[in-house]
Amino acid sequence: MIQKKICMLGAFSVGKTSLIQRYVSSIFSDKYLTTVGVKIDKKALKFNGKDINLMIWDIAGEDDFTSIRTAYLRGMAGYIIVIDGTRPNTCDTALSIHQMVRETIGELPAIFAINKADLKSDWQLDARQLNKLKLSGCPILETSAKHDLGVEGMFLHLTERMEVQHG
């Protein structure tokens, strides 16, 4: 049994919690997120014949008034940064978070998830932003928590990247 701590990061109201709820059945209510700033869930999965427990830390979204408590990031094996495709500024926030993590924690497997794929027609991300994301070297996945699109794949992809890194 291997345990991995991963963090869900991203701007306020991009759908981090909804994505996790799609993936796990939680024992804690969402109110933890707003009180303590973090909520932890567990997902047990099998990868390459290995039992893996993903400890998913859902970390309260960052906006102009609150910043991520970096202490929560300590010890994570990888992270997912969620972007709301309909709000371009969430992409900027994502990039700044990515930068912050690299500076404070170090290089770790990461994934950018552009959420609300069900509203893809309303997406307002421009080519420049997408380019910046691509330049980060991290995989960019499209997800929809509402329609359960690409959610499990996203977590598996991160797991794979973490496994590759640690061997």
Partner 1 sequence: MTAGTPDLDQLRRLLFGKDYDDLLALKEQFENSHQYSTSVASIISEALTLRSRQDDSLSVALGPMVEQTLNRSIQNEPKRIADVLYPVMGPAIRKSIQQALNEALENINQLLEQSFSLRAWRWRFDAWRTGQSYARIALLRTLVYQVEQVFLIHRDTGLLLHHIVAEKAISKDPEIVSGMLTAIQDFIKDSFAVDGNDTLDTLKLGELTVLVEYGPHAITALVVRGNVPGELHGLLVETSETIHQQYARKLKQFNGDAASFAELDPLLRNCLKSQQQAHKQRSPWLAYALLAGISGALAWGTYQYYQHQTQLAVQKAASEQAQQAAIQTLQTQLEQQKADTAAAQVSLQNLLSQQQQQAEEQARLAVANAQTITHLSHAIEVAQYPFELAQADVDFNHPLLAQLVKNILALQQAASRNNQTLQVMIIGNTDDSGTENINQRLAHERAHNMHDALIRSGVPAALLAAYDANQPGLPATAKKNERGVSYMVRLY
Alpha carbon 137 to its chain centroid, in Å, reads 16
HSE-up of residue 49 (Cα within 13 Å, Cβ side): 0
Cβ atoms within 10 Å, residue 56? 25
Torsion of CA 101, 107, 111, 112, to 10 degrees: 50
Stretch that binds partner 1, among 10-18, 71-79, 120-128, 135-143 (CB under 8 A): 71-79
* Residue in 21, 38, 139, 142 binding partner 1, rule: CB under 8 A: 38
Residue 42 binds partner 1, judged by CB under 8 A: yes
Q: Is 58 in contact with 64 (CB distance < 8 Å)?
A: no
Residue 156 binds partner 1, judged by CB under 8 A: no
* Residue in 10, 15, 17, 57 binding partner 1, rule: CB under 8 A: 57
* Residue in 102, 134, 147, 166 binding partner 1, rule: CB under 8 A: 166
* Residue in 12, 21, 37, 146 binding partner 1, rule: CB under 8 A: 37
Residue 112 neighbours by CB under 8 Å, 6+ apart: 80, 81, 83, 94, 98, 133, 136, 138, 139, 140, 141
Please report how close the Cβ of residue 131 comes to partner 1 at its closest, in angstroms.
33
Residue 75 binds partner 1, judged by CB under 8 A: yes
Nearer to partner 1, 39 or 87 (CB): 39
Q: What are 99's two structure tokens?
A: 């930068």
Number of residues that bind partner 1 (CB under 8 A): 25
Residue 66 binds partner 1, judged by CB under 8 A: no
Alpha carbon 154 to its chain centroid, in Å, reads 9
Binding site for partner 1 (CB under 8 A): 1-5, 27-28, 32, 36-38, 40-42, 53, 55, 57, 69, 71-72, 74-77, 166
